[in-house]
Structure 1
Amino acid sequence: MKLIVLDRDGVINEDSDAYVKTLEEWIPIPGSLQAIARLSQAGWTVAVATNQSGLARGMFDASTLDDMHFKMQQLVMEQGGRIDLIVHCPHGPDAGCECRKPKPGLFRTIAEHFGLADLKGVPVVGDSHRDLHAGLMLGGTPYLVRTGKGLRTLEGTLPSGTQVFDDLAAVVDHLLEKSR
């Protein structure tokens, strides 16, 4: 199985320091939905792992989050692709949970869902240190995008082996070229 794990905000859709709280605020990054569709069409399994502390903060409810994810899935389907699994952490940063990135709980859930012992070599695409570190804990290969908080993340020290790309479409171009 060719599996990839994507962060959501800042990778697939525009991010906001004020949080993405409504369906109208969920705006895809140009080329991201088509990139996911190209992965699907090439036989990749696509999973999304996203921290959604806006739930714990009362900024939106579970129904609104479901609507955002439904919109994302519908738009990817309109491009001829699919998202195979979406997992999210609903907790705030002080909850002490195991699912909030940079902890590996969401990635463990993805591995278990697909019957994998770990995510060794699986591309993990994010725009922040916490995305990359969470994936690394289960053996994932880190890919940083410059969209979202990516440029800010570049100012720090990246995990060893991190590959940096302009956006998700550029990551997908690289992966599809590499797998030919």
Structure 2
Amino acid sequence: MSEPSTYPQPPRRGFVLAVVAAVVLAADVLTKIAVVASLEGEAPVRLLGGAVYLQLVRNPGAAFSMATGMTWVLSLIALSVVVAIIWMAPKLRSIGWAIGLGLVLAGALGNLSDRIFRSPGPMRGHVVDFVSVFAPNGDFFPVFNVADSAIVCGGALIVLLALLGKDYDGRSTKEKAKAGSSEAPAS
């Protein structure tokens, strides 16, 4: 029989995940509405001396315009990511993981909503992208949006936490290994 943990259990972090996801999703939706309303048919807008260009691009593929024509598959993948994060939310006890997963959730929902509700039709809709860095038309780096940025930042945070040995339940992998070795039956 194992001894009870001497570490207090951190609070659940589902609320943090939900707040991060809601704020970032709102930013994604609002920026896409503004871009479609103001940049449709317009030339790219040069900002910060050409470091950033704003322009409307409708992307039928995934990041970097990969998988063009596979929009329905990308929609199913995004839906799977959303379901997995929602399933994991009650188990979250790490603030870092809650923020990372909230960012990924918001990004997946933002781009999924484009694929469902935008032209040319449900599960085939094109994602609204609008930020091009260092050159217009994605000549230097592919055009992206707030949702794409959230997915990348959230994914990077999750990878960093994993590399640092921090798990979603608030414990470190070292704590889990130590607890696992103390629970092993003696031979």
In terms of Rg, which structure is larger? 2
Taking structure 2 as the reference length, the TM-score comes to 0.27
Larger helix fraction of residues: 2
Larger strand fraction of residues: 1
